[in-house]
Amino acid sequence: MSTIARIDTATAVLPLPAPLQLGAMTVVRREYSAVQVTAEDGTTGVAYCLSREAPMAEIVDRLVAPHTVGADADDPAAAWERMLRGSAIVGRVGLVRRALGLVDIALWDIAARRAGMPLWKLLGTGDAPRESMLVAAYPSADRAPREVADEVLAQAAGWTNVKISRIPDPAYMRELLAVLSAELPADTRPVVDVGFGWPDAPTALAEIAQWGDPQLAWLEDPLLPEDAAGVARIRRESGLAVAVGDEVTDPAVLKALVEVGGVEALRLDVVALGGVTPAREMIAWATERGVPVSGHVYPEVTAHLGIGVETFARGVNPYDPAPSFILGGPSFEGLVRPTDATGLGFALDPAVFRFERD
C-alpha cells in the first residue's frame, strides 16, 4: 500500500481584458488555487479551482492537508471521510468543504493513475460523448444586443446549449433572446445565467414577463439556491425550465432544489460540493429521481463523471483564462468526450502554478 506523502498548493491571479457583470457581482480578474498531491511512490494528482478571492491554499494547508497525509492512496473515499471528520468542527459546508473538494479530486487522479486507467473507467461512467454547454457571452450595456448575439452565433455550432449572462435591462434581453431564438442552430438552445441576481420570485417574474417568449433550455440560478420555494414559483408561473446549484457546498440544499424546487436540471459544482466522492453520491441520487445533472465549470473533471459538461471557449477567451493553462484533458467538439489518458488526463501549466517545495 502506498500512502499520501505531501500536499503542495499554489495560487495564480490572471487578469481579464474587461470586467464581467454577473448578478450583483463584478469580476475584474480570475484567481485560481491549485493542489498537487504526491503519494509515497511518487505518483502525483492535481486539481484546480476558482478561489473566488477566498484563501483556498491556506485553508488546504492548515485544515485539510494534515488529515490527508498518511491516507491510503488507492482509497479516495476513505481519505475523504478522514478529511471531513478531521475538519468537521469548522468545515462541513462552506470554504473548508471547497478545499476538501480540491484535495479529493487530486486523490482520485492519483488512484486512477496508480490503477493505470482514466478516471471515467475507474468510476464506471463510460466514455460516451457528454452533452455540452458553452459559456458564450457576457452582455454589457456598451455592446448592442446584435453584437452579443453575433458573438454567440459564431461559436454555437455543435454545442447542446450556449449560455449568456443576464443583463438587468429587460428591453435589451428581449431583443437579444429574440435574435438567438430565431438564429441559433435547431439543435442548440440558449441558457440565461442570472447569477443569483434577483432577490425574490416576484421580482424575477416581473422581469421575465418583459423578455417576450424566450425559448430557453433553462433559466439558471435565478435566486439564491436556498430559496427552493421561490425557484418552484418561478418555474410554475413563468413556464420556463430552471436549473440551480452553482457554488453549492451543502448536499441538503441541492436535494431541496429537486424535492421542493422541482428543478429540470441540477447544477453541480464538483469542487464546491466536496469533490468526486460526494459528487458521485449526488449524481446517483438525482439520477434515481430522473433529474439530469449539469456540471458547473471544471470540464476536465466533470467529463469523467458522466454528466453534462460546461466549458468556456478553449484556448484564449475574454471570460475565463483557465483553458489557457490546462495541458491535455477532454476533447471539445460540441459534445465533450473524456480523455483516454490515465487519471484525470490533464496537467497544469508549470509557468502558471508554481508548487512550492521544501
Q: Is residue 33 part of a domain?
A: yes
In sequence order, the β-bridge partners of residue 217 are none
Domain that holds residue 14: 3-116
142-200 confidence digits (pLDDT tens): 999 999 999 999 999 999 999 999 999 999 999 999 999 999 999 999 999 999 999 99
Residue 48: closest CA among 132, 92, 105, 96: 105
- The cell for 28 is 475584474
Please report, for the domain that includes residue 7, its CATH number.
3.30.390.10
- The cell for 258 is 429537486
Please report, rounded to a whole number, the percentage of residues in the chain having pLDDT higher than 70: 99
More confident site: 26 or 108: 108
The pLDDT of residue 316 is 87
Q: Is residue 355 part of a domain?
A: no
The pLDDT of residue 357 is 62
Please report, for the domain that includes residue 272, its CATH number.
3.20.20.120
Same domain, 238 and 340: yes
Q: Is residue 245 part of a domain?
A: yes
- The CA angle 21-327-295, to the nearest 5 degrees, is 50
The pLDDT of residue 1 is 86
Same domain, 186 and 103: no
The pLDDT of residue 334 is 84
Same domain, 57 and 172: no
Please report, rounded to a whole number, the percentage of residues in the chain having pLDDT higher than 90: 95
- Count of structural domains within the chain: 2
100-138 confidence digits (pLDDT tens): 999 999 999 999 999 999 999 999 999 999 999 999 999
What phi, psi does 112 have (nearest 5°)? -70, -40
